[in-house]
Amino acid sequence: MACPNAIETYRRILREVSEARIPGSTEAALRLAHALAEVLSYCGSDLPKLLPQLVSEALQARPGSQTVRSVLHLFLRRVLELSSSHGASGPRGEVVSRAIAEVSEYVEGVREAIAEIGSRRLEAGDTVMTYSYSTTVLRILERAAKRGVDFEVYVVESRPVAEGRLMASALGRLGLRSTLVVDSAVRYVMKRVSKVFVGAEAIAANGAVVGKVGTSVVALVAKEARVRFYVAAGLYKFSPETVFGDLVAIEELEDPELIVPRDRLGEVAPFLGRGIKTRTPLYDVTPPEYVDAVITERGLIAPQLVYYFAREFLGVHYQYVGLEKLAEEVGRLWS
Protein backbone atom coordinates (compact mmCIF):
# COMPACT_ATOMS: atom_id res chain seq x y z
CA MET A 1 0.00 0.00 0.00
CA ALA A 2 1.18 3.47 -0.82
CA CYS A 3 0.82 6.63 1.25
CA PRO A 4 -2.04 8.19 -0.81
CA ASN A 5 -4.02 4.96 -0.56
CA ALA A 6 -3.55 4.85 3.19
CA ILE A 7 -4.77 8.44 3.49
CA GLU A 8 -7.74 7.71 1.29
CA THR A 9 -8.74 4.68 3.36
CA TYR A 10 -8.46 6.74 6.55
CA ARG A 11 -10.68 9.47 5.13
CA ARG A 12 -13.23 6.97 3.88
CA ILE A 13 -13.56 5.56 7.39
CA LEU A 14 -13.84 9.11 8.71
CA ARG A 15 -16.78 9.73 6.43
CA GLU A 16 -18.46 6.57 7.63
CA VAL A 17 -17.85 7.66 11.20
CA SER A 18 -19.25 11.15 10.66
CA GLU A 19 -22.35 9.76 8.98
CA ALA A 20 -22.73 7.43 11.96
CA ARG A 21 -22.52 4.42 9.67
CA ILE A 22 -20.18 2.48 11.94
CA PRO A 23 -22.21 1.27 14.88
CA GLY A 24 -20.52 1.27 18.26
CA SER A 25 -18.11 4.02 19.24
CA THR A 26 -15.24 1.68 20.13
CA GLU A 27 -15.55 -0.12 16.79
CA ALA A 28 -15.36 3.20 15.01
CA ALA A 29 -12.37 4.34 17.08
CA LEU A 30 -10.43 1.11 16.56
CA ARG A 31 -10.97 1.16 12.81
CA LEU A 32 -9.74 4.74 12.68
CA ALA A 33 -6.66 3.88 14.74
CA HIS A 34 -5.86 1.00 12.40
CA ALA A 35 -6.20 3.26 9.37
CA LEU A 36 -3.96 5.84 11.06
CA ALA A 37 -1.37 3.12 11.69
CA GLU A 38 -1.28 2.44 7.96
CA VAL A 39 -0.70 6.13 7.29
CA LEU A 40 2.18 6.13 9.79
CA SER A 41 3.69 3.08 8.15
CA TYR A 42 3.52 4.28 4.56
CA CYS A 43 3.84 8.05 4.65
CA GLY A 44 7.18 9.82 5.09
CA SER A 45 8.40 13.40 4.88
CA ASP A 46 4.93 14.97 4.95
CA LEU A 47 4.00 13.33 8.27
CA PRO A 48 4.72 16.39 10.45
CA LYS A 49 1.97 18.28 8.63
CA LEU A 50 -0.17 15.32 7.64
CA LEU A 51 -0.61 13.66 11.00
CA PRO A 52 -1.96 16.66 12.95
CA GLN A 53 -4.22 17.37 9.98
CA LEU A 54 -5.66 13.84 9.91
CA VAL A 55 -6.13 13.78 13.65
CA SER A 56 -8.00 17.06 13.68
CA GLU A 57 -10.23 15.73 10.90
CA ALA A 58 -11.08 12.81 13.17
CA LEU A 59 -11.99 15.15 16.01
CA GLN A 60 -14.27 17.11 13.70
CA ALA A 61 -15.90 13.95 12.37
CA ARG A 62 -17.14 12.92 15.77
CA PRO A 63 -16.63 15.85 18.12
CA GLY A 64 -18.60 14.41 21.01
CA SER A 65 -16.91 11.04 21.00
CA GLN A 66 -14.31 10.66 23.69
CA THR A 67 -13.77 7.11 22.47
CA VAL A 68 -12.26 8.25 19.17
CA ARG A 69 -10.16 10.83 21.02
CA SER A 70 -8.89 8.39 23.63
CA VAL A 71 -8.13 5.47 21.34
CA LEU A 72 -6.14 7.67 18.96
CA HIS A 73 -4.45 9.25 21.97
CA LEU A 74 -3.51 5.85 23.40
CA PHE A 75 -2.15 4.73 20.06
CA LEU A 76 -0.01 7.80 19.38
CA ARG A 77 1.29 7.87 22.95
CA ARG A 78 2.37 4.27 22.63
CA VAL A 79 4.07 4.98 19.30
CA LEU A 80 6.00 7.77 20.97
CA GLU A 81 7.02 5.62 23.94
CA LEU A 82 8.07 2.65 21.81
CA SER A 83 10.04 4.71 19.34
CA SER A 84 11.91 6.59 22.04
CA SER A 85 13.12 3.30 23.48
CA HIS A 86 14.22 2.29 19.99
CA GLY A 87 15.77 5.61 19.02
CA ALA A 88 14.76 7.66 16.00
CA SER A 89 16.29 5.19 13.57
CA GLY A 90 14.28 2.33 14.99
CA PRO A 91 12.20 0.07 12.79
CA ARG A 92 9.13 2.12 12.04
CA GLY A 93 6.84 -0.68 10.81
CA GLU A 94 7.58 -2.71 13.89
CA VAL A 95 6.87 0.17 16.26
CA VAL A 96 3.60 1.04 14.58
CA SER A 97 2.29 -2.51 14.41
CA ARG A 98 3.30 -3.17 18.00
CA ALA A 99 1.58 0.01 19.15
CA ILE A 100 -1.65 -0.75 17.35
CA ALA A 101 -1.62 -4.35 18.55
CA GLU A 102 -1.16 -3.18 22.12
CA VAL A 103 -3.99 -0.69 21.89
CA SER A 104 -6.35 -3.30 20.41
CA GLU A 105 -5.34 -5.73 23.11
CA TYR A 106 -5.86 -3.11 25.79
CA VAL A 107 -9.35 -2.22 24.55
CA GLU A 108 -10.17 -5.90 24.25
CA GLY A 109 -9.08 -6.45 27.86
CA VAL A 110 -11.27 -3.58 29.02
CA ARG A 111 -14.28 -5.01 27.22
CA GLU A 112 -13.67 -8.45 28.64
CA ALA A 113 -13.48 -7.09 32.17
CA ILE A 114 -16.68 -5.08 31.67
CA ALA A 115 -18.46 -8.11 30.20
CA GLU A 116 -17.47 -10.17 33.22
CA ILE A 117 -18.49 -7.56 35.78
CA GLY A 118 -21.63 -6.46 33.94
CA SER A 119 -22.89 -9.98 33.36
CA ARG A 120 -22.98 -10.57 37.13
CA ARG A 121 -25.71 -7.95 37.38
CA LEU A 122 -28.10 -10.15 35.42
CA GLU A 123 -30.38 -12.46 37.33
CA ALA A 124 -32.70 -15.19 36.18
CA GLY A 125 -36.03 -13.74 35.10
CA ASP A 126 -34.62 -10.30 34.28
CA THR A 127 -36.01 -8.34 31.39
CA VAL A 128 -33.27 -6.17 29.97
CA MET A 129 -33.67 -3.12 27.79
CA THR A 130 -30.88 -1.79 25.62
CA TYR A 131 -30.59 1.26 23.41
CA SER A 132 -28.65 1.80 20.18
CA TYR A 133 -25.72 -0.51 19.45
CA SER A 134 -22.92 -1.36 21.84
CA THR A 135 -20.46 -4.21 21.45
CA THR A 136 -19.76 -3.98 25.17
CA VAL A 137 -23.42 -4.45 26.10
CA LEU A 138 -23.61 -7.25 23.55
CA ARG A 139 -20.80 -9.02 25.37
CA ILE A 140 -22.38 -8.52 28.77
CA LEU A 141 -25.55 -10.19 27.55
CA GLU A 142 -23.67 -12.95 25.76
CA ARG A 143 -21.62 -13.68 28.86
CA ALA A 144 -24.71 -13.82 31.08
CA ALA A 145 -26.49 -16.14 28.65
CA LYS A 146 -23.49 -18.44 28.51
CA ARG A 147 -23.54 -18.60 32.26
CA GLY A 148 -27.07 -19.95 31.94
CA VAL A 149 -28.95 -16.88 33.14
CA ASP A 150 -32.38 -16.80 31.57
CA PHE A 151 -33.50 -13.30 30.59
CA GLU A 152 -35.51 -11.40 28.00
CA VAL A 153 -34.29 -8.46 25.94
CA TYR A 154 -36.07 -5.39 24.59
CA VAL A 155 -34.07 -3.49 22.00
CA VAL A 156 -35.04 0.09 21.21
CA GLU A 157 -34.72 1.08 17.56
CA SER A 158 -32.72 4.29 18.21
CA ARG A 159 -33.63 6.68 15.47
CA PRO A 160 -32.53 8.16 13.21
CA VAL A 161 -29.79 5.66 12.37
CA ALA A 162 -31.69 2.69 13.85
CA GLU A 163 -28.62 1.04 15.39
CA GLY A 164 -31.11 -0.89 17.51
CA ARG A 165 -31.89 -3.05 14.51
CA LEU A 166 -28.20 -3.92 14.21
CA MET A 167 -28.17 -4.71 17.92
CA ALA A 168 -31.19 -7.01 17.58
CA SER A 169 -29.58 -8.74 14.58
CA ALA A 170 -26.31 -9.17 16.46
CA LEU A 171 -28.11 -10.63 19.48
CA GLY A 172 -29.96 -12.96 17.13
CA ARG A 173 -26.71 -14.21 15.64
CA LEU A 174 -25.57 -15.06 19.15
CA GLY A 175 -28.75 -17.09 19.53
CA LEU A 176 -30.38 -14.52 21.83
CA ARG A 177 -34.02 -13.69 21.19
CA SER A 178 -35.09 -10.08 21.48
CA THR A 179 -38.06 -7.79 20.98
CA LEU A 180 -37.58 -4.65 18.91
CA VAL A 181 -39.65 -1.54 19.71
CA VAL A 182 -39.69 2.00 18.31
CA ASP A 183 -38.23 4.81 20.44
CA SER A 184 -41.71 6.08 21.23
CA ALA A 185 -42.70 2.75 22.82
CA VAL A 186 -39.98 2.98 25.46
CA ARG A 187 -42.35 4.10 28.23
CA TYR A 188 -45.04 1.61 27.22
CA VAL A 189 -42.68 -1.33 27.70
CA MET A 190 -40.58 0.03 30.61
CA LYS A 191 -43.00 -1.51 33.12
CA ARG A 192 -41.95 -4.95 31.89
CA VAL A 193 -38.23 -4.16 32.16
CA SER A 194 -36.03 -4.80 35.20
CA LYS A 195 -32.67 -3.42 34.04
CA VAL A 196 -31.39 -1.13 31.31
CA PHE A 197 -27.88 -1.47 29.85
CA VAL A 198 -26.45 1.11 27.46
CA GLY A 199 -23.04 2.10 26.11
CA ALA A 200 -21.54 5.60 26.09
CA GLU A 201 -19.58 7.98 23.91
CA ALA A 202 -18.05 10.01 26.71
CA ILE A 203 -18.31 10.59 30.44
CA ALA A 204 -17.87 14.10 31.76
CA ALA A 205 -16.14 15.23 34.94
CA ASN A 206 -19.41 15.38 36.90
CA GLY A 207 -20.42 11.89 35.81
CA ALA A 208 -22.85 13.01 33.08
CA VAL A 209 -22.97 10.45 30.30
CA VAL A 210 -22.82 11.46 26.66
CA GLY A 211 -24.60 8.77 24.66
CA LYS A 212 -26.45 8.20 21.43
CA VAL A 213 -29.34 10.64 21.17
CA GLY A 214 -32.31 9.20 23.04
CA THR A 215 -30.22 7.56 25.76
CA SER A 216 -31.26 10.26 28.23
CA VAL A 217 -34.92 9.65 27.38
CA VAL A 218 -34.55 5.97 28.26
CA ALA A 219 -32.74 6.93 31.48
CA LEU A 220 -35.54 9.29 32.53
CA VAL A 221 -38.24 6.75 31.70
CA ALA A 222 -36.32 4.09 33.67
CA LYS A 223 -36.01 6.44 36.63
CA GLU A 224 -39.77 7.10 36.58
CA ALA A 225 -40.42 3.33 36.61
CA ARG A 226 -37.69 2.66 39.23
CA VAL A 227 -35.81 0.46 36.78
CA ARG A 228 -32.03 0.22 37.21
CA PHE A 229 -30.02 2.05 34.56
CA TYR A 230 -26.45 0.87 33.88
CA VAL A 231 -23.87 2.41 31.58
CA ALA A 232 -21.16 0.07 30.28
CA ALA A 233 -18.06 2.15 29.55
CA GLY A 234 -14.31 1.72 29.71
CA LEU A 235 -12.46 4.38 31.67
CA TYR A 236 -10.96 5.59 28.40
CA LYS A 237 -14.35 7.18 27.73
CA PHE A 238 -13.74 9.73 30.45
CA SER A 239 -13.34 13.17 28.94
CA PRO A 240 -10.36 14.96 30.54
CA GLU A 241 -11.20 18.24 28.83
CA THR A 242 -14.42 18.52 30.83
CA VAL A 243 -12.33 18.78 34.00
CA PHE A 244 -11.14 22.09 32.65
CA GLY A 245 -14.70 23.23 32.06
CA ASP A 246 -15.02 22.32 28.40
CA LEU A 247 -18.47 21.28 27.29
CA VAL A 248 -18.79 18.13 25.24
CA ALA A 249 -19.71 19.31 21.75
CA ILE A 250 -22.85 17.79 20.31
CA GLU A 251 -23.28 18.02 16.59
CA GLU A 252 -26.67 18.53 14.98
CA LEU A 253 -26.98 17.10 11.48
CA GLU A 254 -29.31 18.79 9.00
CA ASP A 255 -29.75 16.12 6.35
CA PRO A 256 -33.53 15.56 5.82
CA GLU A 257 -32.90 12.00 4.62
CA LEU A 258 -31.84 11.06 8.14
CA ILE A 259 -35.42 11.57 9.31
CA VAL A 260 -37.76 11.45 6.33
CA PRO A 261 -38.03 8.08 4.56
CA ARG A 262 -37.03 8.21 0.91
CA ASP A 263 -40.52 7.51 -0.43
CA ARG A 264 -41.93 10.43 1.56
CA LEU A 265 -39.27 13.05 0.79
CA GLY A 266 -41.59 14.48 -1.89
CA GLU A 267 -44.06 15.52 0.81
CA VAL A 268 -41.59 17.79 2.60
CA ALA A 269 -39.41 18.76 -0.36
CA PRO A 270 -41.45 21.87 -1.33
CA PHE A 271 -41.01 23.23 2.21
CA LEU A 272 -37.36 22.41 2.84
CA GLY A 273 -35.51 25.61 3.56
CA ARG A 274 -38.89 27.37 3.29
CA GLY A 275 -40.66 26.53 6.50
CA ILE A 276 -39.43 23.07 7.37
CA LYS A 277 -35.94 22.27 8.68
CA THR A 278 -34.79 18.89 9.88
CA ARG A 279 -32.40 18.57 12.82
CA THR A 280 -30.77 15.48 14.26
CA PRO A 281 -28.43 15.71 17.22
CA LEU A 282 -26.02 12.75 17.33
CA TYR A 283 -25.81 12.55 21.11
CA ASP A 284 -27.57 13.67 24.23
CA VAL A 285 -26.49 14.02 27.85
CA THR A 286 -27.80 11.83 30.65
CA PRO A 287 -27.42 13.50 34.06
CA PRO A 288 -25.49 11.40 36.60
CA GLU A 289 -28.48 11.19 38.95
CA TYR A 290 -30.27 9.00 36.39
CA VAL A 291 -27.40 6.52 36.23
CA ASP A 292 -27.36 3.77 38.85
CA ALA A 293 -23.81 2.73 38.04
CA VAL A 294 -21.13 2.81 35.40
CA ILE A 295 -19.69 -0.61 34.65
CA THR A 296 -15.98 -0.06 34.08
CA GLU A 297 -12.98 -2.38 33.81
CA ARG A 298 -12.18 -1.46 37.41
CA GLY A 299 -15.62 -2.37 38.66
CA LEU A 300 -19.11 -1.08 39.11
CA ILE A 301 -18.89 2.54 40.23
CA ALA A 302 -21.03 5.62 40.72
CA PRO A 303 -20.88 7.92 37.70
CA GLN A 304 -19.42 10.70 39.86
CA LEU A 305 -16.47 8.41 40.67
CA VAL A 306 -15.44 7.85 37.07
CA TYR A 307 -13.22 10.92 37.24
CA TYR A 308 -11.29 9.49 40.19
CA PHE A 309 -10.73 6.11 38.56
CA ALA A 310 -9.92 7.62 35.19
CA ARG A 311 -7.17 9.71 36.78
CA GLU A 312 -5.46 6.50 37.69
CA PHE A 313 -5.88 5.26 34.17
CA LEU A 314 -4.48 8.46 32.76
CA GLY A 315 -1.45 8.26 35.05
CA VAL A 316 -0.84 9.64 38.51
CA HIS A 317 1.36 12.45 37.28
CA TYR A 318 -0.92 12.91 34.37
CA GLN A 319 -0.45 16.05 32.44
CA TYR A 320 -2.90 16.28 29.67
CA VAL A 321 -1.29 16.57 26.28
CA GLY A 322 -3.81 17.50 23.61
CA LEU A 323 -4.26 14.97 20.88
CA GLU A 324 -3.23 17.49 18.22
CA LYS A 325 0.02 18.20 20.06
CA LEU A 326 0.71 14.51 20.39
CA ALA A 327 0.15 14.09 16.65
CA GLU A 328 2.71 16.82 15.95
CA GLU A 329 5.31 15.04 18.09
CA VAL A 330 4.72 11.68 16.44
CA GLY A 331 4.70 13.35 13.03
CA ARG A 332 8.19 14.72 13.66
CA LEU A 333 9.54 11.26 14.52
CA TRP A 334 10.00 9.96 11.01
CA SER A 335 10.03 13.08 8.92
Partner 1 sequence: MELGGFKIPEEVVRIREGIRTMRIRGAGNIARNGALALAIAAERFTGDDLGAFLRYMELVADYVRSARPTAVSLPNAVSYVMSRLERSKPTSVEDARRAVVEASREFIEYSENAVKLIGELGARRIERGDVLMTHCHSSAAVSVIVTAFRQGKVERVYVKETRPAFQGIITARELAKEGIEVVLIPDSAVRYYMKRVDKVVVGADTVAANGAVVNKIGTSVVALVAKEARVRFYVASETYKFSPYTILGELVPIEVRDPTEVVDPSWLAENPNVRVFNPVFDVTPPEYVDAIITERGVIPPQLAALILIEQYGVRLLDAYVAHRSLELHVDSE
Task: Please say which residue, 272 or 314, places its beta carbon nearer to partner 1.
Answer: 272
Task: Please say which residue, 87 or 261, places its beta carbon nearer to partner 1.
Answer: 261
185 forms part of the interface with partner 1 (CB under 8 A): yes
65 forms part of the interface with partner 1 (CB under 8 A): no
| Number of residues located near partner 1, criterion CB under 8 A | 53
β-sheet with 283-286: strand ranges across: 202-203, 209-212, 283-286
Q: Is 146 exposed, middle or buried (0-12, 13-18, 19+ CB in 10 A)?
A: exposed
Task: Please say which residue, 114 or 218, places its beta carbon nearer to partner 1.
Answer: 218
240 touches 314 (CB < 8 A):
yes
Q: Phi then psi for 283, rounded to 5 degrees?
A: -130, 165
Task: Please say which residue, 118 or 160, places its beta carbon nearer to partner 1.
Answer: 160
Q: Exactly one of 44, 91, 93, 172 binds partner 1 (CB under 8 A); which one?
A: 172
Rounded-to-integer distance, Cα 24 and Cα 42, Å? 28
Which pairs from 187-190 meet CB under 8 Å and 24+ separation?
187/221, 187/224, 187/225, 189/129, 189/154, 190/129, 190/221, 190/222, 190/224, 190/225, 190/227
48: Cα within 13 Å, side-chain hemisphere: 5
260 forms part of the interface with partner 1 (CB under 8 A): yes
Nearest approach, Cβ of 258 to partner 1 (angstroms)?
8
84 forms part of the interface with partner 1 (CB under 8 A): no
Contacts with partner 1 in 137-156 (CB under 8 A)? 154-155
* Contact code string over 41-60 relative to partner 1, x by CB under 8 A: --------------------
Residues found near partner 1 in the complex (CB under 8 A): 154-155, 157-160, 165, 168-169, 171-172, 175-189, 212-214, 216-217, 220-221, 224, 250, 256, 258-261, 264, 267-268, 271, 274-281, 284
